[in-house]
Amino acid sequence: MTEELKIFLNKKVDEYNRPFFIAPDPVCIPHLFSKKQDIEIAGFFAAIFAWGNRTTIIAKSKELMQLMNNAPHDFCLHHTDNDLKKLLHFKHRTFNTTDLLYFIEFFKFHYSNHESLETAFTMWMSKKDVNTENALNGFYDYFFSLSDVPKRTLKHIASPNKNSACKRINMYLRWMVRKDNRGVDFGIWNQIKPSQLIIPLDLHVARVAQHFNLIQRKKFDWLTAVELTSTMKELDKKDPAKYDFALFALGVLEKY
């Protein structure tokens, strides 16, 4: 990687990792809340909904939060059957009521036994893990460990075992884990290190990465996401995921 490219990418991170980035991005949804568990749940839904038009993603996420009385943690733990009836017409693209009801069932199960959603990922990790691969695979199995899982819902959670790039989950982890004073990411989880994060890889980010020869693989899968992250560790081995700001902005906002 040339020195010129390093300077350019660092400049783009600095340019976009700022509070103005929040409002038009799905990360604005967890920013509506101050309670840790509300941030976790709102952020999770916003991340899972994050494909397609960002304005629609934000609107549907806000709609769901309103249906949950703008208190998602309390709703998931203490909802009644009548509360659930309000959700029966909710839909976002291929995510429908069946999926939503299972997600809420999982959150009720998990938060009845754990203080934070972080443990749903970290319980599968060991100290020698260099990245979150085991965390994501373990989370997938754990998330779908309840009885009577709807088969259609399986498609909404990605895992490295399925060779998915896991863009949306990796983006969610970036929000929860990265710690800086820039105001975008929350940094409310402490058991996963920023150095273990994998850069969220989608078509836009991959095209920018190919343009700058940051990846060699042609498939946009888990191994490519790992390859890109490894390349970005040449710039910052402790916080490679911050380059998501640069790569996303160049691909989506600047149409590079």
Rg (CA), the chain: 18
Q: How far apart are CA 245 and CA 168, in angstroms?
A: 14
Place of tokens 């373990």: 138
42: Cβ contacts below 8 Å, ≥ 6 apart: 29, 30, 32, 33, 61, 65, 72
Packing angle of the helix pair 36-48, 97-111 (nearest 10 deg) = 150
Q: How far apart are CA 66 and CA 78, in angstroms?
A: 16
Domain of residue 101: give its range: 3-253
Q: How many C-beta atoms lie closer than 10 Å to residue 24's C-beta?
A: 12
Sign of the alpha-carbon torsion through 65, 69, 70, 72:
negative
pLDDT digits (tens, 9 = 90+) for 66-95: 999 999 999 999 999 999 999 999 999 999
For the cut 80, the answer to whether the pLDDT of residue 228 exceeds it is yes
**The pLDDT of residue 26:** 98
For the cut 90, the answer to whether the pLDDT of residue 48 exceeds it is yes
pLDDT digits (tens, 9 = 90+) for 105-152: 999 999 999 999 999 999 999 989 999 999 999 999 999 999 999 999
Q: What percent of the chain has pLDDT over 90?
A: 96
Q: How many C-beta atoms lie closer than 10 Å to residue 20's C-beta?
A: 11
- Is 146 within 8 Å of 106 (Cβ atoms)? yes
Q: How far apart are CA 239 and CA 232, in angstroms?
A: 9
Average pLDDT for the chain: 97
**The pLDDT of residue 71:** 98
pLDDT digits (tens, 9 = 90+) for 27-40: 999 999 999 999 99
Q: Distance between alpha carbon 150 and the CA centroid of its chain, in Å?
A: 22
For the cut 80, the answer to whether the pLDDT of residue 47 exceeds it is yes
The Cα diameter of the chain in Å comes to 60
Domains in the chain, number: 1
| Token pair recorded at residue 128 | 């020698």
For the cut 90, the answer to whether the pLDDT of residue 216 exceeds it is yes
Packing angle of the helix pair 54-67, 36-48 (nearest 10 deg) = 140
pLDDT digits (tens, 9 = 90+) for 157-172: 999 999 999 999 999 9
**The pLDDT of residue 201:** 97
The DSSP line for 175-227 is: HHH---SSSSS-----SS-GGG------HHHHHHHHHTT----SS-SHHHHHH
**The pLDDT of residue 226:** 98
**The pLDDT of residue 55:** 97
Name the 3-class secondary structure at 18.
coil
